[in-house]
Structure 1
Amino acid sequence: MVLVATEKQDISYDCKFQNSFGKLQRVFGYIYRFWLLKFQNQTRRKGPLTVDDVKGSTHLLIKGIQRVFFAEDYKALRKNKQVASNSKLSSLHPILDDSGLIRVGGRLQNSLLDYDARHPILLPKNHPVTQAIVAQFHHKFLHAGPQSLLAALRQRFWPIGGRKIVAAIVNKCIRCFRLKPRMMEHIMAPLPASRVQPSRPFTTTGIDICGPFFSKSEVRNRPPAKCYVAVFICFATKASHLELVEDLSTASFLAALKRFTSIRGKPNTIWSDNATNFVGARNELQELRQIFLADPPNIELRNDLLSNGINWQFIPPRSPHFGGFDLEVLTPGHILINTAFNAIDEPDITHLNINRLSRWQRVCQMQQAIWHKWSTAYLSLLQERGKWQSVKANLSPGNIVIIKDDNLPSLQWRMGRVESIVLGPDGVARVAVIRTAAGIIRRAVGKLAVLPFETTSSVSVTLPAGEHFRSRTPNL
């Protein structure tokens, strides 16, 4: 007599179809037919798989997994004993059915649920087949959320640690992620110099257009007309200036810019987004020359990587006379901005005794005292980061991202691959270069959402020793 000891193996672990439960069922359907022919002495079946074949193959597949991962519990149940108190299945009071499957005993024996819902089949934690079953139910129930998916899954199966497994599958679903994408967040950057250094109001200005709004005409039967509002915001003082804009054309924007500069003075820098009416101003430099009376026009427009927009640099003319005039005419604009449009900065005289100063120097000293108060009382409020407080990993070249578009639903946002990243002075990537189907573009990281990867390789699972089967065969 020869004693042969074999270790029970999980044959599904090395199957190339383990990430698709439907394919696994069909593969094991033919294995189930062979098992019936070889060990049950049934006649050979031909043709496509039947419902009974799929059901039997599912039981055969899960039974092999259970005997490896729940080996000790299977031994105890086969001897009509209770599982060990330290077992993960002890709270479920498992039972062994007629086909040899380990099921949940539970407390719902007297309910009106069917047998599979009262005694669902137990599945091991973090097994590839368990994940494949959860993924199949997720697609079957039309991408249900974690709670609904777990409730539907437990009508037939009971995975150990089900909440975490279900949440992981839902979070890795590409379609669910694209429906509710999570934009990347990076730590807030240090404030630029134009935000924390004293300057004349609207020296550095941000501009955007809000709307549309509807203005009612004085004519009775005329329908309301659309209009927009151009918002100019000073970087240093947060002062706001509103200008009514007739439409989103470049001409309307230039008219609003004329009115703004005639009241608030000429800014040195204007920050804007990449809207078409701002870009169209590139072709209107001749009209901008008439605004600032500079020949040639001292205006530099360039795309700025950090803001993904336009940085308008207005370089002051070299001539000491403004617009070719030796003497400037006093206008209401001088009173509104408390100085001439081309006035030079006064030296710091806050440390001098007021008795030594002339009347004009006293006015300048009071203005500088206000700015000193701004520096000591206001700037300290900007130290704290209200959001985006933690440092997170930068994008990596090769990441697949979707690009946010405010004018389209999330499922129609473009996809792209990160080619490279642009690091800021603090080492944080806030701009990425992305290759899309339409070409290479640059976008701010806050407008990107990294897609979760769906790996095709199996998850690394430590296989237990399983149960040993011993058989005695005659010595040939």
Structure 2
Amino acid sequence: MFRQIGVIPDHQNYQRIVWREHPSAPLKPYQLGTVTYGTACAPYLAVRVLEQRAYDHKEQYPTASKILLEDFYVDDLLTGSNNENELIAIRKELLELMSHAKMYNSLSEFDELVHRASSWQRLVHTVGYVLRFIQRLKEPRKRVESTILSFEEIKAAQIVCLRNAHACFGDDRRLIQKDQPLRNRSQLFKLTPCIGQDGLLRVGGRLRPSQLPEEVKHPILLPKAPHITKLILEHEHWVNLHPGTSALFVIVRQRYWIIGARNLIRKVTHNCIRCFRQRHHTTHQLMSDLPSIRITQSLPFVNSGCDYAGPITLKDRKGRNAKKSKGCICLFVCLVTSALHLELVTDLSTETFLAALRRFMSLKCNNSWHLHSIRIESRRHWQMKALNGSSFHRKHLTGEETQISAVVNSRPLYYTPDTDVTYLSPAHLLIGRSFTTIPEGDMSHIQENRLDYWQEVQALYQGFWKRWHQEYLTTLQHRPKWGTPQPNVELGSVVLIKDSNTPPAAWPLARVMSTHTGTDGRVRAVKLKTASGEATRAITKIAVLPNSETMFQGGPGC
């Protein structure tokens, strides 16, 4: 009863609580808008509201008002009458008076039970035990052989729950009982509904002469709004091993005809955490602008990126029975020219990487140099394809690396027509020509006054950079993916951390502690709190779980 009495907004601030659906969900503050059970003033407020309703409607409902003032004890009514007709009239008058006060009838308590139930199975069992208790009050001498509900008791509890869901079909049900046609605007008009032997509204339809089971020919009608419909869909989704939207639609249609079923089913499957894990869709954001170090002319390898490719198989010597070990290729890529340099490493230790880094710097870099950790998918894939899973002696692999670098660095920086033979490659910005072209012959026998060689080389080199500005940079304008802005990842969000070495169902949970935004204010990296510590990940490596208020864990007792 207390939950049916509203509290004015100014006083709701004194009824603040925090709540979360499960231990890993964030705490959320709430204001209670109704009288709270357990507070000292709750009984007084409940009785005082009833008295005020009686005074306000005394002239319109004299009998009901008198009963409210004299025969109520908090929320219990103790009254009677000399005959049945008079008692029915009293009940009707009380219900009308209370409806004017916007207080619910006895169905409100059942509705509250439905909304508190976390699953269809739990709701049915709760109602089943309530019905058993009522039956024992009527027949106290009847013994109950088992504490477990029987099939008949569960069936009766399901019917009670489904009848409650049919409350919104009240007008249609009354017309059917009077054998009158439904209104044209009724959402059941095209389904020719009927009332089954169990008292439930069912589809009449056109399949009566078919050989289908009666339950399939005349499925139970369900509206889309009540919470019971959602519980039933979640239950069917779980017992049928998490089917997709179309499969679950067909399964549910065998027993229930739900108004607007497909949208509801799509929402249920979307909010199922187990299904969410299997979809393993990670988060993304509008692709950011390119950093200035990638679009500003500079010497090759001044700004470089680093990544690994592999593993590859190494042999310690030639011939048969050679001892084999695993190694990797360390890739260094110039962020401006996209030129590639490869170094062989025998393991992923810090010492081995630093040795490869020193070799790279001694060959390619000047004193002003910056290294960035990046993912070089296309070049890494191209190199592994070239190696083709073969085993190499370390000396021979060094030659392979040189050839692969030469070929990759000689590929065009951007798309060129089939007829264009003067393409621009990273090699042109490194040495002035493609690595795969044959060098020109010796021109030392030509007189010096006939060839200003240095000026010619410088003009050629500057021409390559001019083409880099005019032809290559403009190809970087478009965003090849992530073209739509997305809502930023929020603090406190529960996420899954993507791990390529484990299946999606085993991805660890984490909570967002802080966010890192770009110059455009969009979050593209987050700091996470995990069970084992803290970690920082790009948002493309996490999957944000659905809102904790709507998530469906996918189990019977949730």
TM-score by length of 2: 0.62
Contact 2:165 2:226 in 1 (8 A): no
Counterpart check, 1:123 vs 2:222: yes
Shift of 1:263: 3.8
Higher alpha-carbon deviation: 27-36 or 383-392: 27-36
Q: Aligned with 1:198: secondary structure?
A: coil
Residue 427 and residue 372 in structure 1: after superposition, are their counterparts in 2 closer, same or farther (change >3 A)? same
More strand by share: 1
Residue 53 and residue 43 in structure 1: after superposition, are their counterparts in 2 closer, same or farther (change >3 A)? farther
* Amino acid aligned to 1:383: Q
* Amino acid aligned to 2:191: L
Contact 2:495 2:544 in 1 (8 A): yes
What per-residue deviation string (whole Å, max 9, x for no partner) do you get for residues 107-136 of structure 1?
332333322122111111032111011111
* Amino acid aligned to 2:159: H
Q: Which residue of 2 aligns with 1:235?
A: 335
What per-residue deviation string (whole Å, max 9, x for no partner) do you get for residues 197-223 of structure 1?
111222211111111123566312336
* Amino acid aligned to 2:278: L
Counterpart check, 1:192 vs 2:288: no
* Amino acid aligned to 2:180: K
Q: Aligned with 1:243: secondary structure?
A: strand
CA distance in 1, matches of 2:528, 2:360: 37
Q: Which residue of 1 aligns with 2:373?
A: 272
Counterpart check, 1:152 vs 2:251: yes
* Amino acid aligned to 2:303: T
Shift of 1:262: 4.2
Q: Aligned with 2:307: secondary structure?
A: strand
Counterpart check, 1:369 vs 2:463: yes
Q: Aligned with 2:110: secondary structure?
A: coil
CA distance in 2, matches of 1:112, 1:81: 29
Tell me how many residue pairs correspond in the alignment.
Answer: 379
* Amino acid aligned to 2:373: S
CA distance in 1, matches of 2:118, 2:110: 10
Residue 54 and residue 45 in structure 1: after superposition, are their counterparts in 2 closer, same or farther (change >3 A)? farther
Task: Pick 1 or 2: higher relative contact order, CA cutoff 8 A, min separation 6.
Answer: 1
Q: Aligned with 1:14: secondary structure?
A: helix
- Out of 61, 80, 86, the residue aligned to residue 185 of structure 2 is 86
Identity across matched positions, percent: 35
Counterpart check, 1:13 vs 2:136: no
Residue 18 and residue 45 in structure 1: after superposition, are their counterparts in 2 closer, same or farther (change >3 A)? farther
Give the gaps of 5 or more residues in structure 1: 275-334, 339-357, 458-476
Contact 2:305 2:374 in 1 (8 A): no
- Out of 146, 149, 174, the residue aligned to residue 75 of structure 1 is 174
Counterpart check, 1:425 vs 2:516: no
Contact 1:401 1:448 in 2 (8 A): yes
CA distance in 2, matches of 1:119, 1:207: 65
Contact 1:201 1:337 in 2 (8 A): no
What per-residue deviation string (whole Å, max 9, x for no partner) do you get for residues 216-271 of structure 1?
66312336543322222111111222333333334443443344334433471121
CA distance in 2, matches of 1:236, 1:30: 73
What per-residue deviation string (whole Å, max 9, x for no partner) do you get for residues 253-291 of structure 1?
3443344334433471121269xxxxxxxxxxxxxxxxx
* Amino acid aligned to 1:269: H
CA distance in 2, matches of 1:199, 1:456: 52
Q: Which residue of 2 aligns with 1:435?
A: 529
* Amino acid aligned to 1:13: D
More helix by share: 2
Counterpart check, 1:60 vs 2:60: no
- Out of 151, 155, 169, the residue aligned to residue 51 of structure 1 is 151
Tell me how large the CA RMSD over aligned residues is. Answer: 3.1
Q: Aligned with 2:183: secondary structure?
A: coil
CA distance in 2, matches of 1:448, 1:214: 32
Q: Which residue of 2 aligns with 1:409?
A: 503
Give the gaps of 5 or more residues in structure 2: 1-84, 97-104, 376-428, 433-451, 552-558
- Out of 143, 165, 182, the residue aligned to residue 281 of structure 2 is 182
Alignment of 1:34-433 (within 5 A): 46=144, 47-48=146-147, 49-66=149-166, 68-214=167-313, 218-222=318-322, 225-266=325-366, 268-272=369-373, 360-361=454-455, 363-433=457-527
Shift of 1:102: 0.4
TM-score by length of 1: 0.72
What per-residue deviation string (whole Å, max 9, x for no partner) do you get for residues 59-104 of structure 1?
12211221x2111211121122332222222232211112221011
Q: Aligned with 2:356: secondary structure?
A: helix
Shift of 1:417: 1.2
Contact 1:18 1:128 in 2 (8 A): no
Q: Aligned with 2:371: secondary structure?
A: strand
